[in-house]
Structure 1
């Protein structure tokens, strides 16, 4: 275990990333637990309202992100300072992304259906960081062999092709697949060749004079949403709390 830890985490310099991810997840879970208690009127916790102004936890989150980022830039990737910077940054990210929906809507939508976007972006962020921690690099460059890695043209071609797949998936209205596809090229390819979402830029541009394609896109989107949306919302409500009716 010690050998694996040193070879896969410490030696490649991934310990700060692991600390940031762990503190991020722990901060989000603790924050959601506290906000649920405040919402239910239980426990010693209360909203912070100095002078009648409700201070959302995104504010200390931004401060911690700034501190952690500058400390990391000053201290490098190794040593005690990098660990402290990673923890501060992870805590800050947890506080900020917990209120991502408020920033997006510029409104207090924390306990509404729109507020579940915060939970969704947290889950997506954890997945992306975990993939990087596991050794995946953007646009699949890590899949190149030793000889291919020395060929600049091969690297540029790989990045360009995988970026194109991710971009096509994004224009087809498949943002989650596009983001994951940045790290896992096969996922981006899958999103690029499938039918676009009916309201996506791709559908508005290329399905405008193809009524059969528009109809197939609407049917597929309906079936997909019917199958997965309810399950996804239920999981988000379990993690982040059910919205107010």
Structure 2
């Protein structure tokens, strides 16, 4: 860590980004177990997938695609929860048959989180068994709830890591070179000890 403190800076500005990334990676490896890392990756994938899915569907809806937007095969709309279920099937297969290396692989955790997000996003459709996805009633509350669940879970899953990463980023900011002090006139002083 001492070697990182004296790291060279690039572009005459703040701390070397490579050093900051190395500190965050070090905190990630040292502050979290393999299980915690998998949970953080899964929550991160959930949050990102949910957010991207909502953005895409809002864009389709805003541009007039309505309920027919998205993927269609042979004129039949394919709901994205199907991709979520497929991802969960794949994760289940890895859990049941895969070796430990595959179970702990970051892609497995990401597929799980992303798959859950795709299913949760269309949960109303699955519960009611009718296509109510584009209905305005309650949609905003579901969006906000999903986003808050994702962000809260992501924070709680890796709380120790996030704190260590924050400290590493703040330490990098503190290492920025001091800005040159503004030149003060050394001219004669008026009464009261103030510069003239």
How would you bin the TM-score normalised by the shorter chain?
A: 0.5 to 0.7
Structure 1 residue aligned with 2:159: 134
Paired residues of 1:75 and 1:82 also in contact (CA < 8 A): no
Paired residues of 1:72 and 1:85 also in contact (CA < 8 A): no
Question: 1:104, CA displacement in angstroms?
Answer: 2.5
Q: 5+ residue gaps in structure 2?
A: 1-22, 161-196
Structure 2 residue aligned with 1:118: 142
Pair 1:6 & 2:6 matched: no
Point out which structure has higher relative CO (alpha carbons under 8 A, 6+ apart): 2
Counterpart among 103, 107, 117 of residue 94 in structure 1 = 117
Structure with the larger helix share: 1
Structure 1 residue aligned with 2:83: 60
- The 5 Å alignment of 1:131-210 reads 131-134=156-159
Q: CA RMSD in A?
A: 3.0
Structure 2 residue aligned with 1:24: 46
Give me the whole-angstrom Cα distance separating, in 2, the residues matched to 1:30 and 1:121.
15
Question: 1:130, CA displacement in angstroms?
Answer: 3.5
Q: 5+ residue gaps in structure 1?
A: 136-245
TM-score with structure 2 setting the length: 0.55
Larger-gyration structure (1/2): 2
Number of corresponding residues: 133
